[in-house]
Structure 1
Amino acid sequence: MSHEQEIEELVVRRGALWLALSPLWLEREPRESDYARMLREIDASELTLQQLEWVYRLEMSPVMARYQLSMAGEWRAFDETELLTRLVRHNRRLKGWRKTTWSLFSGLTTMMSRPRFNELGVRVMVARGERPPG
């Protein structure tokens, strides 16, 4: 598979989901419409909650947390093309030691967005007719 095909395949497989989940890192709280879009894309992706956690912690948080800190107070939305470029670049290198390192440090990279992701997890369970813990 060529470099271009690999990137295209990654964007096709994950792009819509990544963009739908990006409001978890916005300065403002996600809106109901944001959560509805997230639920639609999660449903379309057919990911389990465990796989979704993986996407959140390893595929997105390392990029989004840096984005969040570097842009603090300045941004209201994301440039989707730039965001996808950063996410693709990160995910193409996410193998071996990098994957291990990011999984070890994921507590730090997810700290600010974790309550929102937990809220999303509850909504996913409810939408799937499962009972949230607690």
Structure 2
Amino acid sequence: MSEEEIEALIAERGELWLALAPLWLEREPREADYAHMVRVIERHALTPEQLEWIFRLELAPVLSRHQLSVAGEWRAFDEDRLLTQLVVHHRRLYGWRKGFWTLFSGLTTMMTRHRWNLLMARLARTREEVSDA
């Protein structure tokens, strides 16, 4: 992947990845966190199905490792380091690796699924309110 392709990937996904990363933090996301996530999702105009695959295949394999680490408490991410890890993972996400992460995505999303479901419910309400207006 060239430098330009990496920059394009970060331009396309970086904001979204960083906005959704708090789903994996040790603390429960605050209402402001969820509101920020919804705003970023809306800017990217993704469907719930597209978001689900980003959650399962792009984010969970990288961020679930942080949850399982024995490094102790973690309440924030080093954004540059996290983006680097996500880009490296994304570059390898093809062939058997994509199949592997699809197969095991239930395990990697298990610890954050309740937060994801809350986020998707908030997103649905926001989209309903917009369509009703």
TM-score (norm 1): 0.92
- Larger deviation, residues 73-82 vs 117-126: 73-82
One-letter code aligned to 1:64: L
Could you tell me the percent identity over the aligned residues?
A: 64
C-alpha RMSD of the superposition: 1.3
Q: Which residue matches 1:31?
A: 30
**Does 2:112 align with 1:127?**
no
Q: Structure 1 stretches (4+) deviating beyond 3 angstroms?
A: none
- Could you report, residue by residue, the CA deviation over 1:28-85 in whole angstroms, capped at 9, with x for unpaired residues? 1001111011001100111000000000000000000012211563211000000000
**Does 2:18 align with 1:47?**
no
CA contact (8 A) 1:24 1:116 kept: yes
In 2, distance between residues paired with 1:33 and 1:67? 22
> SS state of the match for residue 13, structure 1?
helix
Q: Which residue matches 1:62?
A: 61
**Does 2:13 align with 1:3?**
no
> SS state of the match for residue 128, structure 2?
coil
Q: Which consecutive residues of structure 1, in runs of 5 or more, have no partner in the other structure? A: none
One-letter code aligned to 2:29: P
CA contact (8 A) 2:19 2:40 kept: yes
Q: Which consecutive residues of structure 2, in runs of 5 or more, have no partner in the other structure? A: none
CA shift at 1:97, angstroms? 1.1
CA contact (8 A) 1:27 1:73 kept: no
In 1, distance between residues paired with 2:40 and 2:71? 27
Q: Which residue matches 2:76?
A: 77
In 1, distance between residues paired with 2:70 and 2:79? 15
Q: Which residue matches 1:92?
A: 91
One-letter code aligned to 1:57: R
Q: Which residue matches 1:116?
A: 115
